[in-house]
Amino acid sequence: MLPARLWSTLLVSVVAALTTSALPAEKRGVLYPEEAVAIELLIRQAGNQTAATSSRLTTTVASSSSTNSGSGTSTRSASSTSTNSNSSTSTKSTSSTSSPNPSSSGVLRTSAQASGGGLPAPPSGSRLTQHTINGKPGTTATVPIFANKNYIGSGSNGASSAWIGLHGRLKNGNQLFSDLYNVVGDQGVAVVPNFYGPSDVQTVQNAQNQGKPNPIWLQPDRNVIWNDDWRYGADAVAGGTSRPLNGESVSSLEILDSLIKNLSNKSRYPNMARITVVGHSAGAALVDIYSHFGPNAPSGIKIRYVEANTPTSYMVDSRRPVGPIDLAKCPNYNNWPYGPGGAKPRYINNAMSSWSFQRTCSRDVVRLSGTKDTYQADSGGDQSCMSWAQGGPDRTNRGQAAWVIDNLRANTKRTDLRYYASYQNITTYQGGVPVQEVPTFRKTFALVYGVAHVAGQMFASDYGRQALLKTTPISYTQTEPAPY
């Protein structure tokens, strides 16, 4: 018998795949939450009233178009439903990516205290820790993180390395912790924050309604929640029901800033020298964005950015492979988070002026792409035309195309570029994209042969281990056409 959690994960994947592929590409685009403030208010009011009346309250949350690229939303909505075997109509109503109209919103049931006791055991090797957000004194809301034994408030003399791991769209930080811990163990500090959202509040509420233990590590009374655009650096939509944001804006990228600040505090970690920010899938997309827009490393600390199987990349200009998508029919293809156009999250707007192609190329970025990370093997995630414009339906090809495009722009003249998917289609002149040579190009890319969209296998592969453990630069040269 599979444990219930696995069943629900399976169900989630299936529902996510179905929901996503049923949507026209335009409907799966990125939109930003105008309802964010309203959601926070509703949740706070819900907390207020629940506290006052000790009765549960139903609040309406326009979760639909406030969240972005389809599958993430539907995934979590589906997840809430799958955990309570309630009718699929509630899936539909919450998973309102399918609804073009924000006012035809789903229903979020919430209460001030949805955690009580009974959180699941954290993954082996970890403790569940509540992270207060440095630099956001207005809120006492916290982010749940899984941390190994070396992450202690007082710090650690021994640790010289740290890893910050980022989960994908299933928001299963517990699994990501296990995948990371499997490779790095207790050699340093390993922390994995979990970004939860309104649909997870509902998951907790559903369990509570049924007298079941909390199936996830979200405690809605204290934790910050984001819409699915956490993966692109957007701000949280609410604090905890009893620990509101109090006007603080909290970008998912500020959680990374805050953890790095914590780990690079020499009075806590006097020997800390290297911090690796590593993500898989949607988590890798966030790492990619962080490699462009995150601040420079604190003094005395080296940061490496590891992106495994990112669904999309931030493309610094409008160059795309010719073929997969008619760009004229995909007007948002170069808009955030696919490119610099359009409306961007607060964090990105503030960071844009420090961005430069030169800076981004000088960073220690390791991109890994599983050769079997194809649409056929896993059709979940972002399948918008903006995503496909980056190299077609297969994530591995999009990853390869992004690598080729970076190299062509920087004019690195690598001779192995011709072996990567879409190379011929990218070299076709398109839109007057400039060449911009840079003094230092430290980005690396490696194909991980035979691996699909599986974080654990990516991290445990030869190049995954190198990316996580090797302290000197990683080099990789493709010597044959990429397998497909």
Q: Contact at 8 Å (CB) between 159 and 273?
A: no
Using the rule CB under 6 A, which residue among 3, 24, 117, 153 binds ligand NAG?
Answer: 153
- Strand segments, DSSP code E, in 220-335 are 274-280, 302-308
Q: How far apart are CA 217 and CA 203, in angstroms?
A: 11
Q: Which two tokens stand for residue 18?
A: 């179905």
How far is CA 253 from its chain centroid? 10
Piece of the chain touching ligand NAG by CB under 6 A; list 14-22, 262-270, 287-295, 405-413: 262-270
Q: How far apart are CA 233 and CA 290, in angstroms?
A: 8
DSSP symbol at 104: S
Residue, CB closest to ligand NAG: 323
CB of 360 to ligand NAG, least distance (A): 25
Residue 90 interacts with ligand NAG (CB under 6 A): yes or no: yes
Q: How far apart are CA 248 and CA 227, in angstroms?
A: 16
Residue 48 interacts with ligand NAG (CB under 6 A): yes or no: yes
CA distances from 269 to 188, 450, 469 (A): 11, 39, 19
CB of 257 to ligand NAG, least distance (A): 12
CB of 232 to ligand NAG, least distance (A): 25
> What residues contact 371, with CB distance under 8 A and at least 6 apart?
396, 447, 448, 449, 450, 451, 482, 483, 484
Return the number of the residue (62 or 282) whose C-beta is nearest ligand NAG.
62
Residue 392 interacts with ligand NAG (CB under 6 A): yes or no: yes
Quickly tell me which residue has 């990316």 as its tokens: 467
Using the rule CB under 6 A, which residue among 18, 152, 460, 469 binds ligand NAG?
Answer: 152
Q: Contact at 8 Å (CB) between 273 and 300?
A: yes
Using the rule CB under 6 A, which residue among 27, 56, 212, 268 binds ligand NAG?
Answer: 268
CB of 465 to ligand NAG, least distance (A): 25
CB of 322 to ligand NAG, least distance (A): 5
Return the number of the residue (172 or 206) whose C-beta is nearest ligand NAG.
206
Restricting to residues 319-378, which ones interact with ligand NAG according to CB under 6 A? 321-324
Residue type, 172: N
CA-based nearest residue to 200, from 13, 100, 75, 37:
75
Question: Could you give phi then psi for residue 161, rounded to 5 degrees?
Answer: -130, 150
Using the rule CB under 6 A, which residue among 358, 425, 427, 430 binds ligand NAG?
Answer: 425
Residue 398 interacts with ligand NAG (CB under 6 A): yes or no: no
Restricting to residues 276-295, which ones interact with ligand NAG according to CB under 6 A? none
Residue 188 interacts with ligand NAG (CB under 6 A): yes or no: no
Helix 462-469 vs helix 173-184: angle between axes, to the nearest 10 degrees?
80
Instruction: Find the helix or strand (DSSP H, E) in which 165 lies.
Output: strand 161-166
Using the rule CB under 6 A, which residue among 53, 55, 267, 477 binds ligand NAG?
Answer: 267
Restricting to residues 16-45, which ones interact with ligand NAG according to CB under 6 A? 41, 44-45
Residue ranges in contact with ligand NAG by CB under 6 A: 41, 44-45, 48, 84, 86, 90, 107, 109, 132, 134, 151-153, 155, 206, 209-210, 262, 265, 267-268, 321-324, 392, 422, 425
